[in-house]
Amino acid sequence: MRTRALGAVLVKGGLVGGLAGCGGTQSALDPRGPAAATIADFSWILFAGAAVIFIGTMALAAYGVLLPDRTKGVPPIRFILWGGLVFPGVTLLVLTVATAMVGNAVDFRTHPEEPLRVTVVGNMFWWEVVYPDLPGGPLVTANELRIPVGRPVEVTVTTRDVIHSFWVPALHGKMDLIPGRMNRITLIASEPAILRGQCAEFCGEQHAWMALFVVALDPAEFDGWIARQQAVPEPPDPADEQLVRGRTAFLEAGCGTCHVIRGLAEGPYAAVGQLGPDLTHVGSRLSIGAGVLPNGVGPLAAWIAGVQDIKSGARMPSYSTLDGETLTALARYLESLK
């Protein structure tokens, strides 16, 4: 705790002014959970230690250069022995033990509370998020990980294509997504927050737009969210012709070959595709395209007609072949899926 206060003082003092912009939703220096807090504390200790050693070394060098007479008598072997072997040896030993202890402290596998289990599957360039064992059956969503505050969340990460890395700096360190492997990292959020995570292993042209929002909610709110997400959306009100048209258009344009909308699994154009994010409740998300646009009718229409302008290289074609009325209807329909 004291070291974090030191860090705060350093930041406020402008000594590390460059880091001052690192507060906010995606910063390891602004931790919102115990693991990230421990890591941040340890980082400040390392930073302070490195600063002391650096200053000490520079002072010795200056001493030797400016006052050669005083240092002439010291045999070089003594410097090499103490400064080159004993001191670094002891420091590295202490750091090795400390690192192992920090590693243990941020590993919540032995946490007494039963964790919430989530699977995060990396895709170029979006995240599938699966809650496999909820009481009401599994839930699939995308690009947004909602978790209850205080409870450990065991995230199993894997990938459908290349290596990605799962990193929510305000909660924990990085965990790689490796083809054919299931890696685990357990997160705990200590307060309600909307945090941003980011793919941290270069995975292709849109790697930079492979973001993930983590929303930590009070447990009761979290349960409400799960219940809403598990519900199959009501079919649109037949009186709202535009929404009905949007739903038909979704199926007829073939969107269902890549996307799932639960409740649209029947008929010749079932929405059961597995190549893109599940859109059952896409209207409830904070963003679309893994953080590239905010949500809403305008951004949805822009995405559908111009995804290759917005996120070139994304694995979805631009649908600027749809006529204007259909495009608007489709965007309104998707936005209505709350």
Partner 1 sequence: MGRGPLRIAATAVLGLSGCVALAACGDGNAVQGNREVAGGEAARGKAILTANTHGCGGCHTIPGIPNAHGTVGPPLHGMALRGYVAGRLPNDPGNLVRWISGPQEIDPRSAMPDTGITTAEAAHVAAYLYTLRDIPK
- Interaction site with partner 1 (CB under 8 A): 293-294, 296-303, 305-306, 309-310, 318, 320, 323-325, 327-328, 331-332
Ordered DSSP codes for 121-185: EEETTEEEEEETT-TT--EEEESEEEEETTS-EEEEEEESSS-EEEE-TTT--EEEE-TT--EEE
d(CA 329, CA 299): 13
The one among 118, 203, 249, 327 contacting Cu ion by CB under 5 A = 203
Decide: is 275 part of the binding site for ligand HEC (CB under 6 A): yes
Of 32, 247, 281, 285, the one binding ligand HEC (CB under 6 A) is 285
Report, in Å, the least distance between residue 288 CB and ligand HEC: 4
Residue closest to 264 by CA, chosen among 275, 285, 253, 250: 250
Judged by beta carbon, residue 7 or residue 283, the one nearer partner 1 is 283
Alpha-carbon torsion angle 290, 293, 299, 302, nearest 10: -80
Backbone angles phi, psi at 197, to 5 degrees: -115, 175
The residue among 97, 270, 252, 122 whose CA lies nearest residue 198 is 122
Q: Interface with Cu ion includes 117 (CB under 5 A)?
A: no
Window 204-243: residues binding Cu ion (CB under 5 A)? 207, 210
Measure the CA–CA gap between 273 and 265, rounded to whole angstroms: 10
Which lies closer to ligand HEC via its Cβ, residue 106 or residue 331? Answer: 331
Residue 197 is a binding residue for ligand HEC (CB under 6 A): no
Among 254, 263, 272, 284, indicate the residue that binds ligand HEC (CB under 6 A): 254
Cβ atoms 241, 325 nearer than 8 A: no
143 binds ligand HEC (CB under 6 A): yes
Ramachandran region of residue 173, left (φ > 0), alpha (ψ -120 to 50) or beta?
A: beta
Nearer to Cu ion, 140 or 203 (CB): 203
State the residues that interact with ligand HEC by CB under 6 A.
Answer: 125-126, 142-143, 206, 250, 253-255, 257-259, 275-277, 279, 282, 285, 288-290, 298, 300-305, 311, 314-316, 319, 330, 334
Where does this chain bind Cu ion (CB under 5 A)? 164, 199, 203, 207, 210
